[in-house]
Amino acid sequence: MSKRIKVLKTYKIFIDGKFPRTESGRYTQLKKDNLTIANVCLSSRKDIRNAVLSARNAFESWSSKSAYNRSQILYRIAEMMEGNKNQFIEELILQGEEFNKAILEIDQSIDRIIYFAGWPDKINPIFGSVNPVASSHFNFTILEPMGVVGIVASEENSLLGLISSIIPIILSGNTCVTIVSEKLPLCAISLAEVISNSDVPNGVVNIITGSKDELAPHLAQHMDVNALGVNIDNKELKNQMFFQASNNLKRVVDVSKYKIEDSSFESPYIVKKFMEAKTTWHPIEKDFTSTNNY
């Protein structure tokens, strides 16, 4: 009996719920010990454009889902990951992580999703407010999602870092376009597959592989992106992005300030940074009462 030939996985990018190859047709070879592990798409600015378009189209329906519903969908991602643990562990090891650390990272990642999955319906009770204005108005402030967020995920922590970038941003109703780790992209594509199977509507999460130097500026300049969550150490690129972001006053959050591995990262304050406060006024009618003196 001849030896079974293993079926190799094709790593494609994730745009609008589909898995296309980059429109540019370019790829790079990910190697380990001089053996090719995978061919990874070297995406182009047109892929960024398509991804932003898809994220924009998805925003209305994702943000208008009930918080309870978003909560369940995020929980579903964690469930699906739990079932696909082995694949992630394999990929983490392929990318050079030790077995024990790989297990720790996948467990931490799943637990982190569970942590954030509980937040969608708890952000506003904590950070919203009813404001006691002096005039006869009912006045309240709630936090709303910003829209399309451009994410540049960390180079290290290819799974936990990615989860920590994406989940706190989309839980409030934002959609995102994520440029993932350049040297460790495998888990990102598997995560996309999990997301694709987890009731997350198409376009809410878009995942792009390729050169950050090339792609990130296009994301930073895009006029239909509302905010950036940037977790990179390359100071030059980061500054360039923040400079470019001012063209339409994108909100920028430097995620590299936070210790992703640390449990202190788990807080609603990171969620709040990608939300916008909206205050609504409405008059309150006060009755007049009559008395008679017949």
The interface with other proteins within residues 145-164 (CB under 8 A) comprises 146
Cα distances (angstroms) measured from residue 150 to each of 31, 48, 153, 169, 280:
28, 10, 10, 10, 28
SS (H, E, C) 26-89: CEEEEEECCEEEEEEECCCHHHHHHHHHHHHHHHHHHHHCCHHHHHHHHHHHHHHHHHCHHHHH
The interface with other proteins within residues 264-283 (CB under 8 A) comprises 267, 269, 276-283
- Count CB neighbours of 109 within 10 A: 24
The one-letter amino acid at 4: R
Q: Does 245 bind other proteins (CB under 8 A)?
A: yes
Cα distances (angstroms) measured from residue 15 to each of 146, 161, 175, 242, 281:
20, 20, 12, 25, 39
Q: Does 246 bind other proteins (CB under 8 A)?
A: yes
3-state secondary structure of 230: strand
Q: Is the Cβ of residue 8 or residue 277 nearer to other proteins in the bound state?
A: 277
**Site for other proteins (CB under 8 A): which residue of 154, 226, 230, 260?**
226
Q: Shortest distance, CB of residue 252 to other proteins, whole angstroms?
A: 8
If binding means CB under 8 A, how many residues of this protein chain bind other proteins?
Answer: 47
Q: Shortest distance, CB of residue 138 to other proteins, whole angstroms?
A: 9
Q: Is the Cβ of residue 4 or residue 257 nearer to other proteins in the bound state?
A: 257
Q: Does 129 bind other proteins (CB under 8 A)?
A: yes
The interface with other proteins within residues 109-128 (CB under 8 A) comprises 126
**Closest CA relative to residue 187, chosen from 220, 168, 170, 165:** 165
**φ/ψ of residue 48, rounded to 5:** -60, -45
Cα distances (angstroms) measured from residue 36 to each of 43, 148, 198:
19, 35, 30
| Site track for other proteins across 175-214, x = CB under 8 A | ----------------------------------------
**Site for other proteins (CB under 8 A): which residue of 242, 256, 261, 265?**
242
**Site for other proteins (CB under 8 A): which residue of 257, 261, 262, 263?**
257
CA distance 242 to 141: 28
CA distance 195 to 79: 11
**Site for other proteins (CB under 8 A): which residue of 32, 83, 98, 133?**
133
End-to-end CA distance of the chain: 111
**Site for other proteins (CB under 8 A): which residue of 251, 256, 261, 265?**
251
**Site for other proteins (CB under 8 A): which residue of 183, 213, 243, 263?**
243
Q: Shortest distance, CB of residue 135 to other proteins, whole angstroms?
A: 6
Q: Shortest distance, CB of residue 233 to other proteins, whole angstroms?
A: 14
CA distance 161 to 158: 6
Q: Does 35 bind other proteins (CB under 8 A)?
A: no
Q: Does 293 bind other proteins (CB under 8 A)?
A: yes
What residues line the site for other proteins (CB under 8 A)? 126, 129, 131-137, 139, 141, 144, 146, 226, 235, 238-239, 242-243, 245-249, 251, 257-258, 267, 269, 276-288, 290-294
